[in-house]
A and B are shown apart, each in its own frame.
Chain A
Amino acid sequence: DAGITQSPRHKVTETGTPVTLRCHQTENHRYMYWYRQDPGHGLRLIHYSYGVKDTDKGEVSDGYSVSRSKTEDFLLTLESATSSQTSVYFCAISDRTSGRSGNEQFFGPGTRLTVL
């Protein structure tokens, strides 16, 4: 998966608890993204980063925060998890300097999060 790992791969937690998901890349790509995947919705962008300490919101950012203190790591935090945040979370990276394929993104293996 293009040198992208996500941890944990599976997590079960309770409503109201904080949760942090980690994405780690070894490709030195500038752009990193967090998506959630839900049946019937495809992938929806939560937050993304265009450099260290530079982040912006996606279309479903409420209830999530992110941090990027190093090029290789992008953290997604659910401050107080809710059952509606039960989903599969994917991290993606993009170089975008290739010019060959625009915004081609490479995806990690995903984290399945269940909030009880």
Chain B
Amino acid sequence: GEDVEQSLFLSVREGDSSVINCTYTDSSSTYLYWYKQEPGAGLQLLTYIFSNMDMKQDQRLTVLLNKKDKHLSLRIADTQTGDSAIYFCAESIRARGDYKLSFGAGTTVTVRA
């Protein structure tokens, strides 16, 4: 996960928007992902974006990609208590002839009433 960096914690009030930021290093990454991990559970794919896009919207989720700065963000509109979780950014990189995912350390989002 050293190639992908995220801030570790985010606290947000219920109803506000959350923005989670991520930077990555491999300019050849074709896909970038956001995964969500709830306590005691595995990772669940939230959304992904192909590298030739700069924005993707999926209901309350908006992904922004700035390829020039290698910056990815996830915005959650109208944040709810059920959005409290760890969010992982991941890039798909080509290594030794194969594709692998490189994960950030995860951002713990806490939603307060």
Q: Give residues in A with beta carbon < 8 Å to B.
A: 1, 4, 40-45, 48, 50, 56, 58, 90, 92, 96, 101-110
The docked-state distance in angstroms from the alpha carbon of A50 to that of B99 is 11
Chain B residues near A108: list those with CB within 8 A: 42
Chain B residues near A109: list those with CB within 8 A: 41-42
Chain B 30-67 near chain A by CB (<8 Å), digits 1 or 0: 11010100001111110010100000000000000000
Cβ-defined contact, B103 with A42, below 8 A: yes
How many B residues face the partner with a CB closer than 8 A? Answer: 26
**Secondary structure of the B side of the interface?**
strand
The docked-state distance in angstroms from the alpha carbon of A101 to that of B98 is 15
Chain B residues near A104: list those with CB within 8 A: 31, 33, 45, 48
Tell me if B15 is interfacial: C-beta within 8 Å of chain A: no
Cβ-defined contact, A107 with B31, below 8 A: no
Residue among B1, B41, B99, B101 making CB contact with A41, cutoff 8 Å: B1
The residue in chain B whose Cβ has the minimal distance to the Cβ of A6 is B42
Tell me if B112 is interfacial: C-beta within 8 Å of chain A: no
Which of A40, A41, A42, A105 lies at the interface centre, i.e. has the most chain B CB atoms within 10 A of its CB?
A42
Question: With A45-B100, A103-B92, A107-B42 known to touch, is A40 a contact of B8 (CB < 8 Å)?
Answer: yes
Residue among A43, A48, A103 making CB contact with B88, cutoff 8 Å: A43
Chain B residues near A90: list those with CB within 8 A: 42-43
Cβ-defined contact, A107 with B8, below 8 A: no
Cβ-defined contact, B1 with A44, below 8 A: yes
Shortest Cβ distance from residue A110 to the other chain B in the assembled complex, whole angstroms: 5
Cβ-defined contact, B100 with A42, below 8 A: no
Chain A residues near B100: list those with CB within 8 A: 45, 48, 58, 103
Cβ-defined contact, A96 with B99, below 8 A: yes
Cβ-defined contact, B1 with A42, below 8 A: yes
Cβ-defined contact, A101 with B48, below 8 A: yes
The docked-state distance in angstroms from the alpha carbon of A16 to that of B38 is 32
